[in-house]
């Protein structure tokens, strides 16, 4: 199991959704991510830029004929950060379940 580490860059819901989606494939087309997450081009572009600046994703820009095509991939650093963030969230959930159980037992 990866070390747990909460990540402020990944945590916002849009970026968490992007990283989770990218974790499921090697490369994903910009349009697929945009449509799957129901984001505008500008919103997705801004979030991808933030993730790329952090070193969490790689962006590939190519052309298909004369049309530009942008794809994104989770970098090894990004994959590790995502796994650590998920582990941190799981720890938070486990603690809340434990605390809720303890509180219920104290009420009895």
pLDDT given for residue 107 in this prediction: 61
The answer to whether residue 40 is domain-embedded is yes
The answer to whether residue 42 is domain-embedded is yes
The answer to whether residue 8 is domain-embedded is no
What's the whole-model pTM score?
0.85
Domain count, the chain: 1
The answer to whether residue 6 is domain-embedded is no
Indicate the pLDDT class of residue 24, thresholds 50, 70 and 90. Answer: very high
The answer to whether residue 5 is domain-embedded is no
Number of other residues whose CB lies within 10 A of the CB of residue 2: 14
Query: Per-residue pLDDT tens for 71-85?
Result: 999 999 999 999 999
The answer to whether residue 71 is domain-embedded is yes
Average pLDDT of the chain, as a whole number? 91
CATH code (residue 79): 1.10.10.10
- Determine the structural domain holding residue 48 and report its residue range: 13-107
pLDDT higher than threshold 90 for residue 62: yes
| CA dist., res. 85 & res. 67, Å (int) | 36
C-alpha distances out from residue 92 to 5, 39, 53, Å: 11, 28, 28
Indicate the pLDDT class of residue 96, thresholds 50, 70 and 90. Answer: confident
- Beta-carbon contacts of residue 10 (< 8 Å; ≥ 6 apart): 16, 19, 56, 81, 82, 85
End-to-end CA distance of the chain: 35
The answer to whether residue 1 is domain-embedded is no
């Amino acid at each position: 199991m990866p070390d747990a580490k909460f990540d402020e860059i990944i945590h916002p819901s849009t970026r968490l959704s992007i990283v989770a989606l990218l974790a499921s494939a090697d490369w994903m087309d910009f349009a697929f991510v945009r449509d799957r997450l129901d984001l505008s081009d500008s919103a997705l572009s801004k979030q991808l830029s933030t993730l790329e600046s952090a070193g969490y994703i790689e962006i590939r820009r190519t052309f298909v004929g004369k049309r530009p095509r942008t794809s994104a991939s989770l970098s090894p650093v990004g994959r590790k950060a995502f796994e650590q963030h998920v582990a941190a969230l799981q720890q938070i959930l486990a603690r809340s379940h434990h605390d809720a159980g303890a509180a219920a037992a104290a009420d009895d």
